[in-house]
Amino acid sequence: MENIVVTLENQIKTALDKFIETQCKKLSKNLKVSIERPKNRSYGDFSTNIAFHLSKEYAASPVEIAQTISSFIDNKSLIESSKVTAPGFINLVINKQWLKSQVNEIREASSRFGDSNIGNNSNVQVEYVSVNPTGVLHIGHARGAVIGDTISNVLSKN
């Protein structure tokens, strides 16, 4: 299961590459695409402001650029719709069927869900309780112990 933000970034990069190939070949293909959650959920599940970064170089309004890039987004299995809102955001709505399929994948993975091989065969030292022997114990020490123990448990899962 791939991270949805990474998948969406790749979708936007693909649409951006098509935009550059068809509209303006002089633009750089090495632009950083950022996907964020909009503050207002009515705009969609995720959004990008890539059109703002292109407007000066392409000499067009961000809305026009966003509309063109949006027309190149074609992964309907993941993205139900893409809508452009002023001043030039591309708002993405995730396909509900795709979300349901992710729930099924999580169920099938069971206790393996979330497993990762990042950091395998590496040693990590987590220091989380360090009480000053000359000072008074306080709630911060307990909090540090709980957080440290939790981090150790998460790291030992792999």
The DSSP annotation for 62-96 comes to HHHHHHHHHHT---TTTEEEEEEETTTEEEEEE-H
- Report the alpha-carbon distance of residue 49 to residue 55 in Å, rounded: 11
Tell me, yes or no, if the pTM score tops 0.75: no
pLDDT of residue 25: 67
pLDDT of residue 8: 93
pLDDT of residue 29: 64
pLDDT of residue 11: 92
pLDDT of residue 148: 87
Low-confidence residues of the chain, pLDDT below 50? none
For 119-133, the pLDDT digits (tens) are 777 888 887 777 777
pLDDT of residue 27: 67
pLDDT of residue 83: 94
pLDDT of residue 89: 95
pLDDT of residue 152: 86
- Report the alpha-carbon distance of residue 67 to residue 45 in Å, rounded: 18
* Domains in the chain: ranges and CATH: 4-97 (3.30.1360.70), 118-158 (no CATH)
